[in-house]
A = this chain, B = another copy of it.
């Protein structure tokens, strides 16, 4: 597929973001636990892109963290025709993205999720966001998180935070449990207002995520935890699994478009429990 400058710029940014974040995480682990990297191809017979999935497990701080980059293209399966913007006439697509899920050892450090993506069909758009899932009610963290995200969003557009935090709350919701998954964040999709501004925003979302996860780990990892806290975390991770398999668009998109299954399901926690 022909790559234009925009596609090239975004792809490079996502690739670099993956490298920067992985380095950062390894430093948090004092470089004693390192990422394992896997390259995969969407199609072994013809060139339809692929990705690099990076996984770190059993750290002192991170129980499991997956950092995935992918750049894939080709055709959507027919069942998606017309269901994704710009696919009414044909199912050609090109997509790149980076996505991260962190499951933490200390139950007082929330699970954190980040994704930014750029998708092209008949037209192109950005999507992404980040959200935070603690095991325990934490209004202080929620306030702090929202304040930071609002400041970041406001740099780009005063309406973003209100819209995207609402979208996040609506998206990360488990209707069968009548529960929110986490305490909020931002979520956006089909973003195609002004390419330069949109790309700047997407870059800023990535940099903000780096700042926030470092601060959250600093703040929360000091708190002592008990075996009971860990049990609470295992049950909360059960909800995480339920959300990702029952509702998450990224998971569905990945499975339906023949993505790499290990990369797609890297978001699942290392261990989950159900009562």
Contact = CB atoms under 8 A, between A and B. Distances in A.
A238 to B, nearest CB: 7
A268 B274 contact: yes
A205 B273 CA distance: 31
A37 to B, nearest CB: 15
User: Which of A262, A265, A272 counts the most chain B CB atoms within 10 A?
Assistant: A272
B268 A238 contact: yes
B245 A265 contact: no
The interface size bin for chain A is: 20 to 34
Given A176-B255, A255-B176, A242 B271 contact: no
A241 interface: yes
A269 to B, nearest CB: 7
B270 A273 contact: yes
Contacts of A238: 268
Contacts of A177: 261
A20 interface: no
A246 interface: yes
Contacts of A268: 238, 274
Given A269-B274, A272-B272, A245 B241 contact: yes
Interface string A147-161: 000000000000000
Nearest to A57: B275
Interface in A143-184: 175-177
A241 B274 CA distance: 10
Nearest to A234: B271
Interface string A243-262: 00110000000010000011
Given A245-B245, A270-B273, A271-B273, 12 more contacts: A175-B255, A176-B261, A176-B264, A176-B265, A234-B271, A246-B246, A246-B255, A268-B274, A269-B274, A270-B275, A271-B271, A272-B272
Q: List the 4 shortest-distance A-B pairs measured between CB atoms, nearest first.
A: A245-B245, A268-B274, A176-B255, A176-B261
